[in-house]
Amino acid sequence: MQPTVVVVLALVLALQIKHLIADFYLQNAYIIQNRRYYGHPAGLLHVGIHLAGTLVVLLLFTTPLWLIGSILVSEGVFHYHLDWAKDNYGANRGLTPRDAAFWHAMGLDQALHHASYLAMAWAWAVWA
């Protein structure tokens, strides 16, 4: 049975709430200061927090395990590299919150994260 639009939108909302918590409430100085170093445990920790939240959301929406695994791998790779690229862009240019380019990068980063949640919800609607 195809999921209703309301259920798919609820999934997107749940992923966005997860993102809010993981990106803005569960990050600390250690993560923020070290995510730009490729492979640093701080970046991996940050992605792990996101993946744990996504796992909870997908389990609440009774997602098949094979699809959970596929979504988590895709999100992990995408999220890690997106944050790493944004952090390096800002660090290499010495950007701070006082710079418009800092906010442009932050806005693009957040928009791409949320676009990935639309893609995840689409995959869920098609294959769950």
pTM for the structure as a whole: 0.94
pLDDT of residue 2: 74
Angle at 93 between CA 88 and CA 98, to 5 degrees: 105
Map 69-91 to HEC letters. Answer: HHHHHHHHHHHHHHHHHHHHHHH
Q: Are 31 and 42 in contact (CB under 8 A)?
A: yes
Tokens encoding 69: 């695994």
Distance, in Å, from the CA atom of 11 to the CA atom of 122, rounded to the nearest integer, reads: 10
Furthest C-alpha separation in the chain: 51
Q: What is the mean pLDDT of each run of 10 residues along the chain (128 residues)?
A: 88 98 97 96 98 98 97 98 97 97 98 98 96
Q: What is the phi/psi pair of residue 87, to 5°?
A: -65, -40
